[in-house]
Structure 1
Amino acid sequence: MRDLTLPRVPPNEDLRLALVQTTLAWHDPQTNREHFDELLADIQNVDLVVLPEMFTTGFSMASLSLAEPEVGITAEWMLAHAARLGAVLTGSVIVRAEDGSHRNRLLWAQPDGELGHYDKRHLFRMGNEHEHYTPGDRQVTFALKGWQVRPLICYDLRFPVWSRDPHNTDLLIYTASWPAPRRQHWNRLLPARAIENLCYVAAVNRIGADGNDVLYSGDSQLLDFQGDSLLCTGSADAVFQLTLGAKELAAYRTRFPAYRDADDFQLG
């Protein structure tokens, strides 16, 4: 069991983010990659770039026809951009795993050529996602400039146990295709995740309509460890660059170390 009385080791460098909120072409990976080529062209001096969920296709159940290999054309495209930017590039795509299953997989493309991933745990049954994809079975944390960064995908946001912090998370990322009719849920749950984990939260949603006429309102945002808004994008089609303060995070955890009284648990 973890010793919850021990202080967390905070990062000592600020972290520079770019959040990319935009429309997506339905079932057209090449068009979407070219669109993101344009959006990424002017990004400079960042450590991490976050793209929406299923950013090459839109939120689709056509896994059989759209799935790419684990290291397919989009993974190679992401690694090339990561190397050019000198930053991690992340977002989810439809992947066919080695075991033949289809995954809604967040790829974590590093500038050094390493490729990590997180498979979406909670599949959106109201959209039949659970009938077309296999859920992930583990949380994943990536180290970046001394920050512990934990990615989650869309529907994961609704499940506080999975979103809870057994890994000393400094930044939670949610990449999403969250529909406009439930934007109130999105806007209320994100601050809760920041508050309960004593960490920053960066959430990137798409805008526009998909091929099923589902509307997306955007509302991508960045929240601090008290759930206060540092950015809310509304429905803008743009790239937003911000910096997360390491000293501010460490100071707050020192003043208010609620993590020391947290319940220890293991996920089954």
Structure 2
Amino acid sequence: MSNALTIAVVQTNLIWENPIKNRRLLNNKINTITSSIDLIILPEMFTSGFTMNASSIAETMDGETIAWLKEKAKEKQAVIIGSLVISENDNYYNRLVCVEPSGEITKYDKRHTFTLAGEHKVYTAGTEKVMFNYKGWKIHPLVCYDLRFPVWARNVENYDLLLYVANWPKPRINAWDALLKARAIENMAYCIGVNRIGLDGNNYEYPGHSAAYDVLGNRIDSIPADKEVIDIVVLEKGVINKYRDKLNFLNDRDNFNLKV
């Protein structure tokens, strides 16, 4: 068990629908991390950008990107997290993977597909809420549009860290900022959101605004809004315990059964 968790937030541009070049780009960025890191977080669809052309860039769980993630996780002795397009059982998924140094993988299929962009017509929505444990931290990973739906993130499992990977566009970035902070406060957990920057192949602009919040909604990172950067954030388990014990807000949460 670790009382602290050190996280590298990778805020970056992505190359449109080009897994090979994106792996090369991200490999170079990850190689610049020289300090000891527990988690490395990449954006949503980090091999392609947010594309509906699933057939052209989809991979399998035995594909090149998963193999590369396993190699980098082992090399850096860190969990690497991000989503990519996966083909499985004749379906496409916007699948988040958490790849541990041991090679173990926790996977989460995006529950809330983005209907405004037609994502629901291309990708099959997930049905399972996922947690994974690493170094004594319970972590709940989610993807982009999931951020708008607080019931799906409701902290009934007493998790410590809520993560969102995203391609969240500039016109609605105020919602991203507000909701990330709200998710931290209402769940009394650390909340980190990692968004890309730059233009995609549809000429949509992404302004970054990656951020990390503590259990009271205080910003604890130093990430510039719209720059390519790797920012290191250190989370302290003692902060969670202190405020949960003192305030006991989670004890008053509503009980309900979630049906999907």
Distance 2:62 2:83 in 1: 13
Q: Could you tell me which of 44, 68, 87 is aligned with 1:77?
A: 68
Distance 1:79 1:13 in 2: 25
Post-superposition shift, 1:65?
1.7
Distance 2:224 2:156 in 1: 30
1:151·1:173 contact (CA, 8 Å) conserved in 2? yes
Stretch moving more, 189-198 or 229-238: 229-238
**Is the counterpart of residue 199 in structure 1 residue 186 in structure 2?**
no
Distance 2:62 2:188 in 1: 34
**Is the counterpart of residue 190 in structure 1 residue 180 in structure 2?**
yes
Query: For residue 168 of structure 2, what is the aligned residue in structure 1?
Result: 178
Distance 1:167 1:85 in 2: 29
Distance 1:74 1:167 in 2: 31
**Is the counterpart of residue 112 in structure 1 residue 102 in structure 2?**
yes
Aligned length: 257
**Residues 160-211 of structure 1, C-alpha deviation per residue, up to 9 Å, x if partnerless?**
1101112111000000000011000001111110011000001100000000
Post-superposition shift, 1:12?
5.3
Q: TM-score, normalised by structure 1?
A: 0.94
Distance 1:79 1:12 in 2: 22
Post-superposition shift, 1:238?
1.1
Percent identity at matched positions? Answer: 42
Distance 1:233 1:167 in 2: 32
Moved over 4 A (4+): none
1:12·1:247 contact (CA, 8 Å) conserved in 2? no
Distance 1:90 1:235 in 2: 21
| Residue type of the alignment partner of 1:128 | G
Query: For residue 120 of structure 2, what is the aligned residue in structure 1?
Result: 130
Query: For residue 221 of structure 1, what is the aligned residue in structure 2?
Result: 211
1:21·1:236 contact (CA, 8 Å) conserved in 2? yes
1:218·1:235 contact (CA, 8 Å) conserved in 2? yes
Where in structure 2 are the equivalents of 1:145-164 lying within 5 Å?
145-164=135-154
Distance 1:106 1:76 in 2: 15
Post-superposition shift, 1:233?
2.9
Q: Could you tell me which of 92, 96, 100 is aligned with 1:102?
A: 92
| Residue type of the alignment partner of 2:24 | E
Distance 1:67 1:233 in 2: 31
Post-superposition shift, 1:70?
2.0
1:221·1:233 contact (CA, 8 Å) conserved in 2? no
1:103·1:133 contact (CA, 8 Å) conserved in 2? yes
Query: For residue 166 of structure 1, what is the aligned residue in structure 2?
Result: 156
Q: TM-score, normalised by structure 2?
A: 0.97
Q: Could you tell me which of 248, 257, 268 is aligned with 2:239?
A: 248
1:118·1:139 contact (CA, 8 Å) conserved in 2? yes
Distance 2:69 2:220 in 1: 27
Distance 1:225 1:16 in 2: 16
Unmatched runs of 5 consecutive residues or more in structure 1:
1-10
Q: Could you tell me which of 32, 40, 45 is aligned with 1:49?
A: 40
Distance 2:70 2:224 in 1: 27
Unmatched runs of 5 consecutive residues or more in structure 2:
none
